[in-house]
Amino acid sequence: MHSIIAYWPALARVMMASLFIWDGIVQLRNPSGTTKYFASVHVPAPEAAVWISVIVHLLAGLAVLFGFKTRWAAAVLCLLCLGTAFGVHLRVGDVSNMTHFYKNLVMAGGFLYMMHYGGGAMSIDGAGRV
């Protein structure tokens, strides 16, 4: 069982990073659609925000995936999740959006753990700690 536990932080990083990498790619492939969505949920300066969003999603997602500056990348994604939860998905009475609100809160909680414990031994940050 001990040998399996060593892989859990790496698996957690893959699972958590995949959403942000995928979303960054989707936004990059359709920036005009993302801009329209951002405008519909009242994101300020949606034309600029889309490019900031793409960069944050891809760079922080890849950093978490590979365990490079994991705590900093997790902090950035934690703030992104909280900002999205409270700024976009907190619509009282909208059950679908409340599901997304709580999903973002749960991910922010996971990133808080990652900020505390780091990327684990199987990461760029943890190289040599195996």
d(CA 34, CA 50): 7
Residue 126 lies in a domain: no
Residue 125 lies in a domain: no
Amino acid making up residue 26: V
Residue 45 lies in a domain: yes
Residue 63 lies in a domain: yes
Residue 88 lies in a domain: yes
**Average pLDDT of the segment spanning 73-94:** 92
Q: Which range of residues forms the domain containing residue 64? A: 2-117
- pLDDT tens for 19-53 read 999 999 999 999 999 999 999 988 999 999 999 99
CA proximity to 38, closest of 3, 1, 84, 105: 84
Confidence of residue 94 (pLDDT cuts 50, 70, 90): confident
Structure tokens belonging to residue 84: 């999205």
Residue 130 lies in a domain: no
Residue 123 lies in a domain: no
Total tally of structural domains belonging to the chain: 1
What's the half-sphere exposure (Cβ side, CA atoms, 13 Å) at 95?
0
Q: pTM to 2 decimals? A: 0.90
**Average pLDDT of the segment spanning 54-72:** 97
Residue 124 lies in a domain: no
